[in-house]
Amino acid sequence: MKSRLFISLFALPFFGVGVVMLYSVGTMLFDASRVSAWIPTQATLLAAGYETHRGDDSDTYEAYASYRYRFNMQVYTGDRVALSGGGDNIGDHQQLLGRRLSESLSRNEPITVYVNPDDPGQSIVDRTLRWGLVGFKSIFVFVFGGVGLGLLIAAWRTPAEKDRTEPRFVDAPWLMNDDWQSGEILSGSKAAMWGAWIFAGFWNAVSAPLPFLLYDEVTNRQNYVALVGLLFPIVGMGLLYWAIRRTLEWRRFGRTPVVLDPFPGSIGGHVGGSIDLPLPYSSATPFRLTLTNISSYVSGSGKNRRRKERALWQDELCAHAEPSMRGTRLSFRFDVPEGLDASDAAPLGDTYTLWRLNLSAELDGTDLDRDFEIPVYPTAERSRRLSDRSARASNAIGDSVQEQAIRDIVRVSSEGMGKRLVYPMGRNLMSNSIGMLVGIAFAYAGGWIALEEGRLMFGLVFGGVGAIVAALAFYMMFKSLEVSREGNTIRSIRRLLGIRLSSREMQVGDVHRLEKASGMQTQSGGKHTVYYRISAVDRDANEMLLGEGFRGESGARAAEIFLIRELGIV
């Protein structure tokens, strides 16, 4: 209860700012609609100009005027200038309006004001709705108000903390999580859909006024560095596209829970189960399942604190599909090795462990993409309902997929009595190309800022990060690996753009074992991809790289079998 009250007290000021700004924006929009029907009337200025309000960080400007006008044979005075009261520094609207009124006053020129025919004492000079100001205030509505409201909802909807010492939790710690009370586990797709819309809404609320502000910066002040800000609304359009994709996926597949067998999933045993999909059965559609053991942790401190994830172990397989009452039933079974960390049902502290099951398939129309946070504990239990026949059928599909995946990575050729395996340049071409282009763009922008704008430190940091990204993407794109066997000698050569960087040799008889290790990881949202490399290890623990870029534990196991067969390693 104390934590709820503390969070609520922390959230209320944010929520209050959002409410005040929502009232301000709503009033501005209502007034804009109301004054559009007011009648234009000639008025004589009595005073006009603009005032500058000095602040610690910036100055604001406020146009002012007092004027006299005649309406229905009556004389009135007014001093309302614009829809929004008070000063601001959003663009130079206030300054321009103040100067225009001051010049009319100095020339003794009449101005046009707009009068409420139902109450002639109400009038206004400028009834322009400033969308830049509306957008700026909307930032506070969505960001401050949204954060405050979200914290309040989270504080009062979060279940009370459970007592870990209760006997039922000691024997079954997964029951501390309200979502893990039975073997039926829902995906995070609905939450991801709403999260996508909320994040896209916040991002676009923040970035929407930027084009209006940047126009003034570029056209009037020739500040071309400000054009970098256009990246934010562009990213916002991408986020909206992502939110629409998540919505279409949810509408097509609905809840679609996974039913675990055993429950919970087992370290040292099986993680298996079934999923019913509202899809017509098709034997030609492969459904890929990825099981990942993840460490979630907080890095940095102060303002730089943020949560990150790192994959500790990963395996992939293709599910066994068969017709069902709903359409298609998928069944799967992972063999999980001992020694991995269990799920944290009720995380404490900055670091905890989770297990994520991802189901994906490329389909006509909207693709399938579901993430399930599942309980996995060291129970050494095995699946009871999933038949060995289904598991063998799934493994056969998986072996075929893994073999094709290896063939897509490696080019194999025979040379006399030997073999030559080439991992060519250009792997992961799309992602590396994007990384290199983004890095080059940032490096160029950083150099331009440093040299043309004279902002040396900012330009060097900005451009340096871009250069590092571009260099890494360049290396990943243009590196290659050649592994060959000639007689009893296995040779491994690393090249960049065909230029030899390193070379290692090992005799076939000296190979003591093959060792797989996780290497590069990529992450897109909550989806991790772990790439494994395979090395030959001799009795002195010397290593020589034989292959790389194999996805998941199953891909690495298949690669070991492939390398033993192709290189004739006993």
Strand pairing category for 511-524 and 527-538: antiparallel
Residue 570 — pLDDT band, cuts 50, 70, 90?
low
Q: Over range 18-47, report the average pLDDT.
A: 90
CA angle 411, 417, 420 (to 5 degrees): 20
How many of the other CB atoms lie within 10 Å of CB of 550? 26
Q: What pLDDT, on a 0 to 100 scale, did the predictor assign at position 112?
A: 94
Q: What pLDDT, on a 0 to 100 scale, did the predictor assign at position 453?
A: 67
Q: What pLDDT, on a 0 to 100 scale, did the predictor assign at position 119?
A: 94
Highest average pLDDT, of 174-183, 437-446, 490-499, comes from: 490-499
Q: What pLDDT, on a 0 to 100 scale, did the predictor assign at position 272?
A: 92
Residue 375: C-alpha distances to residues 45, 181, 255, 372, 409 (Å): 74, 10, 18, 10, 34
Share of the chain above pLDDT 70, in %: 89
Q: Over range 194-199, report the average pLDDT.
A: 82
Dihedrals φ, ψ of 527, to 5°?
A: -100, 120
d(CA 563, CA 557): 10
Residue 65 tokens, joined: 């005027």
Q: Over range 87-99, report the average pLDDT.
A: 85
Residue 491: C-alpha distances to residues 276, 450, 461, 476 (Å): 49, 47, 41, 21
Q: Over range 423-429, report the average pLDDT.
A: 83
Q: Which of 41, 94, 86 is nearest to 68 (CA)?
A: 41
pLDDT tens digits, 201-225: 777 776 766 676 666 656 665 665 5
Instruction: Supply the pTM of this predicted model.
Output: 0.66
CA angle 352, 357, 361 (to 5 degrees): 150
d(CA 156, CA 117): 50
Say if residues 177 and 250 touch (Cβ distance below 8 Å): no
Q: Over range 528-551, report the average pLDDT.
A: 89
Q: Which of 570, 286, 267, 270 is nearest to 402 (CA)?
A: 286
Residue 438 — pLDDT band, cuts 50, 70, 90?
confident
How many of the other CB atoms lie within 10 Å of CB of 520? 13
Structure-model confidence comparison of residues 358 and 444, the more confident one: 358
**What is the residue type of 214?**
L
Q: What pLDDT, on a 0 to 100 scale, did the predictor assign at position 519?
A: 74
pLDDT over 60 at 13, yes or no: yes
d(CA 145, CA 58): 24
Structure-model confidence comparison of residues 202 and 470, the more confident one: 470
Lowest mean pLDDT among 317-321, 429-433, 438-442: 429-433
Residue 273 — pLDDT band, cuts 50, 70, 90?
very high
d(CA 184, CA 430): 37
How many of the other CB atoms lie within 10 Å of CB of 49? 16
Q: Is the C-alpha dihedral spanning 271, 277, 281, 287 positive or negative?
A: negative
Residue 409 — pLDDT band, cuts 50, 70, 90?
confident
**Where in 319-460 does DSSP place strands (E)?**
320-323, 328-335, 352-361, 368-374, 376-377, 411-415, 418-423
Per DSSP, the three-state class of 493 is: strand
User: Which domains, and CATH codes, for the chain?
Assistant: 2-133 (no CATH), 166-387 (2.60.40.640), 415-567 (no CATH)
pLDDT over 70 at 276, yes or no: yes
Structure-model confidence comparison of residues 196 and 48, the more confident one: 48
**What is the residue type of 39?**
I
Q: What pLDDT, on a 0 to 100 scale, did the predictor assign at position 492?
A: 93
Q: Tell me whether residue 458 is exposed, middle or buried, using C-beta atoms within 10 angstroms of its C-beta: 0 to 12, 13 to 18, 19 or more.
A: middle
Lowest mean pLDDT among 55-59, 182-186, 193-197, 432-436: 55-59
**What is the residue type of 547?**
G
Helix (H) or strand (E) holding 243: helix 231-253
Residue 268 — pLDDT band, cuts 50, 70, 90?
very high
pLDDT over 60 at 541, yes or no: yes
Say if residues 49 and 101 touch (Cβ distance below 8 Å): yes
Q: What pLDDT, on a 0 to 100 scale, did the predictor assign at position 348?
A: 74
Q: Tell me whether residue 430 is exposed, middle or buried, using C-beta atoms within 10 angstroms of its C-beta: 0 to 12, 13 to 18, 19 or more.
A: exposed
Q: What pLDDT, on a 0 to 100 scale, did the predictor assign at position 162?
A: 65
Highest average pLDDT, of 208-222, 255-269, 547-561, comes from: 255-269
- Give every CB contact of residue 480 below 8 A, 6+ residues apart in sequence: 422, 423, 424, 425, 494, 495, 496, 498
The two counts, helices (H) then strands (E), for the chain are: 12, 24
Q: Over range 400-422, report the average pLDDT.
A: 83
